[in-house]
A = this chain, B = another copy of it.
């Protein structure tokens, strides 16, 4: 029997039984059907009368140009979910006391639509984004939605905007779902009103002319991205704004991104807004691809998950979710056991690491000298799936029905 607070907070949800976050709350991933949730079949579409010119993908700055339409659906504790709407892209009128602006009761997702070599539009494992979004919503005390229905709504929006999906295997259409409280009062409380919307932004190639550019990292325990008992494993706004300052201190130190450390033993956890991988000969002499485990402080990235899946299928070396400390990394560098280090994320797929500034040392990571063999192979396998050169159940078609 759920308590009243539980029922009010999250109908259709319960504490996770899978122990995926050390007992922290989690949506029940098996429960797809949420009674009363909005449905894609009920969507109404209002088309713009003034469509914009499509930009040249090669000139695009990430996330600064948007398509002609957006998806929006609103919720209130009084009326539940309203009918979903696709309408012209426009400003949202927000109450000045809105608790998304005061208390960051907000979350987002990020995925992409790819136009394949066959001209068809694909998504890459979008169910994983829906699952994560549902878990983020539960943690933010936002109401549950039906993950399959939201995915259908996103497909409908992409179909409306299909001409915005770049006709290029270097570019894509970035999809940004966002779910915010629209509670118009100042008490720090579960929102009585909320809005979920999706916007689309055409994006160009992450690496210009196909060449990897390795990044320089700033490793300093002064700033900590997330911590046990916090929200580091959910894609919520507070994780990003609160980490922003460190990014600029990294730049002041002449580095491009932050290598986030954690704990007394200085575990290496994430890179900027990406997950982190180390390909090395580990302390036992085994060839290993390693990434930190999902212990509550790591964002469960879709690309991270896919890298683990692919490398495991290869059966060529050990694939591990394990802790790696700065000291272990320093020892491995001294003993020439490090082969590649790279970040992973939706934007770049993989992003090689070239140097790490740590205390008074400037550590050289030989990622580029080693190919990077594994990073490049992972990139190619995933991009081939995304652009339809390889058949895979990971590619979900956006049909134009």
Which residues of A are interface residues toward B (Cβ below 8 A)? 3, 5-6, 9, 23-25, 61-64, 66, 70, 89-97, 99-106, 108, 139-141, 174, 176, 178, 180-181, 184-190, 197, 199, 201, 221-224, 227-231, 236-242, 244-245, 247-249, 251-252, 273
Given A24-B223, A224-B229, 11 extra CB contacts under 8 A: A5-B252, A63-B186, A89-B96, A92-B95, A99-B241, A188-B244, A190-B244, A223-B229, A224-B227, A236-B238, A238-B238
Is B102 within 8 A of A91, CB to CB? no
**Nearest-neighbor residue (CB-CB) of A199 within chain B:** B96
Bound Cα distance from A228 to B262, whole angstroms:
10
How far, in Å, is A77 (CB) from chain B's closest CB?
14
* Central interface residue in A3, A70, A229, A231, by most chain B CB within 10 Å: A229
Closest 5 CB pairs of A and B: A238-B238, A63-B186, A224-B229, A104-B237, A104-B104
Bound Cα distance from A178 to B302, whole angstroms:
35
Q: Which of B5, B24, B236 contacts A248 (CB 8 A)?
A: B5
* Central interface residue in A3, A89, A103, A230, by most chain B CB within 10 Å: A103
User: Please, which residues of chain B bring their CB within 8 A of the CB of A238?
Assistant: 104, 236-239, 241-242
Is B222 within 8 A of A23, CB to CB? yes
How far, in Å, is A5 (CB) from chain B's closest CB?
5
Bound Cα distance from A189 to B238, whole angstroms:
14
Bound Cα distance from A93 to B229, whole angstroms:
35
Is B237 within 8 A of A241, CB to CB? yes
Is B186 within 8 A of A201, CB to CB? yes
User: Please, which residues of chain B bring their CB within 8 A of the CB of A102?
Assistant: 106, 108, 176, 178, 237, 240
Is A96 within 8 A of B92, CB to CB? yes
User: Please, which residues of chain B bring their CB within 8 A of the CB of A201?
Assistant: 97, 186
A229 and B240 contact, Cβ closer than 8 Å, known pairs A104-B104, A199-B97, A251-B5: no
Bound Cα distance from A102 to B244, whole angstroms:
13
A96 and B108 contact, Cβ closer than 8 Å, known pairs A230-B227, A240-B103: no
Is A187 within 8 A of B63, CB to CB? yes
A222 and B97 contact, Cβ closer than 8 Å, known pairs A190-B248, A244-B140: no
Q: Which of B103, B184, B249 contacts A25 (CB 8 A)?
A: B249
User: Please, which residues of chain B bring their CB within 8 A of the CB of A25?
Assistant: 245, 249
26 contacts between A and B (CB under 8 A): A5-B248, A61-B187, A63-B97, A64-B185, A64-B186, A91-B95, A91-B96, A92-B94, A92-B95, A92-B96, A93-B93, A96-B178, A101-B178, A101-B237, A102-B108, A103-B237, A105-B241, A174-B186, A186-B201, A188-B240, A188-B244, A223-B229, A223-B230, A224-B229, A224-B230, A227-B230
**Nearest-neighbor residue (CB-CB) of A227 within chain B:** B227
Bound Cα distance from A251 to B5, whole angstroms:
7
Is B190 within 8 A of A105, CB to CB? no
User: Please, which residues of chain B bring their CB within 8 A of the CB of A176?
Assistant: 97, 102, 186
User: Please, which residues of chain B bring their CB within 8 A of the CB of A70?
Assistant: 96
Bound Cα distance from A89 to B97, whole angstroms:
11
Bound Cα distance from A188 to B244, whole angstroms:
7
User: Please, which residues of chain B bring their CB within 8 A of the CB of A103?
Assistant: 237, 240-241, 244
